[in-house]
Chains A and B, each alone.
Chain A
Amino acid sequence: MSFINYSSREINCKIVYYGPGLCGKTTNLQYVYAKTNPDAKGKMISLATETERTLFFDFLPLSLGEIRGFKTRFHLYTVPGQVFYDASRKLILKGVDGVVFVADSQMERMEANLESIENLRVNLAEQGYDLDRIPYVVQYNKRDLPNAVTVDELRSSLNPRSVPEYSAVAPTGVGVFDTLKAIAKLVLTELKKSS
């Protein structure tokens, strides 16, 4: 849910990276954090287990610049991908303005991708959102792995609605900023439409 502050002339929006366990949601944020100018970012917070798996969420505040005198700020969150953390995932979707679904391109993770998208749809609906209506982009991550299925196959299973989609290799940054820009743009366009 966006927060427009006339007093400080700021617009804040919330973007959530969703996807199955180990698909690269945290890696997306880590890359954005590493490559962003220090003036434009806040501290990245990761609430993770001892084995570096996301326990609750990662959080990264980013400034994107000004629109008509208003500073635009985006708060990026990831959810814990592991199936049994569903209660936490629901909480993080509260007040979301846009969702990035990070898919794992590996053949053996196709079922996990499908399960996660269905889980996203259900959890969004519980918060009163419709996955077919909110700003939404899909990222096909891990394109560099030998067991990656083709983008055409991923598209037909995971993106039947043809929302903006990006191929990515998150640790090296391929597709990471394209994905972020696309969702940020959709969120701002949606805010404009609904105003």
Chain B
Amino acid sequence: MNSGLVMYEEEFRLITGICDRLTRDANAKVVFLVDKNGQLIASSGQAQNLDTTSLASLTAGNVAAMGGLAKLIGEKEFPNQFHEGERESLHMSIVAGRVVLVVIFDAKSSLGLVRLRVKKAGEELGRVFDVLAKKQAMPGAQSPFAEITDDDIDNLFSE
């Protein structure tokens, strides 16, 4: 079976730092990072009023659907997407082949600026995810599940 994504404290700090910087540098409203399977990894900016769980799931659905379309026309994927709204716009780009960097911005920013900043942030994020992948592949990489007993699981379901 495919192995899941594991996020450690140190890398999480780095990722949040990159997202915070991108929010500032791109004059964005919100930046979030989503696993291609729809799990939210990090968010930055004015995310408090947003349903980030739903955003993450729909982002993944959208990227998956566009990836399917890309394959149908002989492309590997569409690494960047832009959706323009009346007030808010949304830019998505695939980073390190497995996560999606989403930037929501309004008239205070521009597509050109967002593209430029996303490119740099994407490279930085790519390096962090390379480190994560190596950490995860190391023998003896810890999982919180290693210590969990059957009773712990049963207790979760006891009424």
Contact = CB atoms under 8 A, between A and B. Distances in A.
Interface of A: 1-8, 11-12, 14, 42-43, 45, 47, 56-57, 59, 61, 64-68, 70, 72, 75, 87-88, 90-92, 94-95, 97, 127-129, 133-134, 181, 184-185, 188-192, 194-195
Interface in B1-53: 1-9, 12-13, 35-39, 41, 51, 53
Nearest to B7: A5
Nearest to B65: A91
B148 A185 contact: no
A65 B156 contact: yes
A14 B38 contact: yes
Contacts of B37: 1, 3, 14, 94-95
Contact of A75 (B57, B146, B150): B57
Given A4-B7, A181-B157, A134 B1 contact: yes
Interface of B: 1-9, 12-13, 35-39, 41, 51, 53-54, 57-58, 61, 64-65, 67-68, 143-148, 150, 152-154, 156-157
A124 B12 CA distance: 31
6 contacts: A5-B41, A7-B9, A12-B39, A45-B54, A61-B54, A68-B152
A36 to B, nearest CB: 14
A161 to B, nearest CB: 17
Contact of B54 (A1, A6, A59, A133): A59
A189 B150 contact: yes
Given A68-B152, A70-B144, A181-B157, A3 B2 contact: no
Contacts of B154: 185
Contacts of A191: 4, 143, 145
Contacts of B146: 192, 195
Contacts of A134: 1
Contacts of A5: 6-7, 12, 41
Contacts of B68: 87-88, 90-91
A91 B64 contact: yes
A8 B144 CA distance: 13
Given A94-B36, A129-B1, A184 B157 contact: yes
A68 B53 CA distance: 23
Contact of A128 (B2, B61, B143): B2
A91 B58 CA distance: 12
A189 B64 CA distance: 28
B1 A4 contact: no
Please list the 6 inter-chain residue pairs (A to B) with the smallest Cβ-Cβ separation, ordered nearest first.
Answer: A95-B37, A2-B4, A195-B143, A7-B12, A195-B145, A91-B64
A7 B10 CA distance: 8
Nearest to A189: B153
Residue in A47, A134, A190, A191 with the greatest tally of chain B CB atoms within 10 Å: A191
Given A14-B37, A42-B54, A181-B157, A68 B12 contact: no
Contact of B148 (A8, A45, A88, A192): A192
